[in-house]
Amino acid sequence: MDTLKIDFNNITGKIKPMHAVNNPPTVPSDTYGLYEKVKEAHIPYVRLHDTGGLFGGAHYVDIENIFTDFGADENDPASYDFAFTDKLLESMDKIGLKPFYRLGCTIENYHKIKAYHIFPPADPYKWERICEHIILHYNEGWADGYHFGIEYWEIWNEPDNEPEIGDNPMWRGTQEEFFELYDITAKHLKASFPFLKIGGYASCGFYALSDADFSETAHSTSRVGYFVEFFHNFFKYISEKNSPLDFFSWHSYAGLRENVMYAAYAKEKLTQYGYGNAEVIFNEWNPGIHNRGKAVDASNIAAVMCAMQKTSTDMCMYYDGQADSTYCGLFSGDFHKVFKAYYAFRAFGELYLLKNEVFSDTTADGVYVCAASGEKKAAMIVNSNSGNVDIKLDTPDILQCFATDETHDYEAIELKLNDGVLTLPPYAVWLVIFE
């Protein structure tokens, strides 16, 4: 019989923020009380990208939304429009939600009609100074600003989205133009704020590694092949320029096993290029919007959290937390309903509070586990299978269980063991508290 083992005496590391998200549920403020739900789930970080929907709501976060006239004086506070982003960050700060600030622009899915903000900045040195003043506003009080202490500042998003410039909804420029922009901006920001984390570039990912026909030593004409080509060219460039990079961010909408493989690949290659100490941040992922609202979505999300915790990945950021986004599995579009996937975040949030990861493992296919100790001992046990799974528990006595599955929504249930065997129902996400 398959087994599940947990050793609370064997601390293996720290529980990492695998349950961060892109965007808070609503902008600019908490109209429907959903921020309190985010707080209850102990979601630690929120990445600010595509904030406010298409074109960034025309008011939020993006450089062009804050500095609306590139010809203006970047040293003059009157040149900046911080209003909506100020209100958003104030709302987040009230519940202790830390921003992960993306410097750049929102994806322009209708760029073929007209592209607006996805071109390389006319003057990369001026662009770096604009970024500097945005950081000064939110961290050092410049221009009637704040002292939020925002730690992560990400340069751009998916500049590798398409190999042909005219097809790219994120970067209407060459690879080399982006590499230069990153180098210039990262060096300036790191020199100005050495204690902050500067990185990027929110890579489209490594799907090509799953293609048996792809060779990373030769150019692949496929779009996914271009993602990997861009990745290597970027790191060759910045390693030669000695550009600072505190974190590398990447994306994937593939399955769990592929994502674990991609995470290992990213860490291996960063080490080879001399950036082995950089954090690896998986900051866009979603196991499938077609399962939105279902127990299977909750179990798939929880399985990714458990699996990525055991990789070298430093943070995961689910896409998307905005309730009116079709990619949001946490909340309904009418802002009034919490979906089952929300409870996967809440369960992992309880482990995150305990801080210490302890040894856990299982032999059951499709079953995942992550365990933690601190003020108490707990484990998140996930069955991503469509049927029941019987599993032998090699653990201390169970004190309490909060179950999320097809018939429960984070409800306290009594676990009944038969000779130490636990039966997990389909698509279960169970937070188990031990004596």
For residue 210, name the pLDDT band (cuts at 50, 70, 90). confident
Indicate if the pLDDT at residue 310 is higher than 80.
yes
Residue written as tokens 């970080």?
Answer: 45
Reported as a pLDDT band with limits 50, 70 and 90, residue 211 is low
Strand order through the sheet with 428-434: 409-413, 398-404, 428-434, 377-383, 367-373, 356-362, 3-14, 389-394, 421-424
How much is the pLDDT for 219? 43
What's the CA gap between 239 and 260, in Å, rounded? 25
Helix (H), strand (E) at residue 326: none
Mean pLDDT, rounded, for 183-203: 98
pLDDT at 59 over 60: yes
Mean pLDDT in residue range 231-235: 98
**Choice among 12-26, 109-123, 278-292, 324-338 with the minimum mean pLDDT:** 324-338
At 76-87, the pLDDT tens digits run 999 999 999 999
Query: What pLDDT digit, counting tens, does each position of 115-157 carry?
Result: 999 999 999 999 999 999 999 999 999 999 999 999 999 999 9
Q: What's the whole-number average pLDDT of the chain?
A: 95
Q: What pLDDT, on a 0 to 100 scale, did the predictor assign at position 90?
A: 98
According to the model, what pLDDT value does residue 30 have? Answer: 87
Which two three-digit tokens encode residue 434? 């031990």
Residue 226 is predicted with a pLDDT of 96
pLDDT score, position 217: 42
| Whole-number Å distance between alpha carbons of 298 and 427 | 7
Q: How far apart are the first and last CA of the chain?
A: 25
Provide, rounded to the nearest whole percent, the portion of the chain with pLDDT above 70: 97
User: Phi then psi for 301, rounded to 5 degrees?
Assistant: -65, -45
Rounded to an integer, the average pLDDT of 211-236 is 76
Q: What percent of the chain has pLDDT over 90?
A: 90
Q: Give the H or E element holding residue 240.
A: helix 223-241
In this prediction, residues 103-108 reach a mean pLDDT of: 96
DSSP letter (8 states) at residue 331: B
pLDDT, tens digit, 9 for 90 and up, residues 366-399: 999 999 999 999 999 999 999 999 999 987 788 8
pLDDT tier at 221, thresholds 50, 70, 90: low
- What CA–CA distance (Å, rounded) separates 18 from 352? 9
pLDDT of residue 214: 46
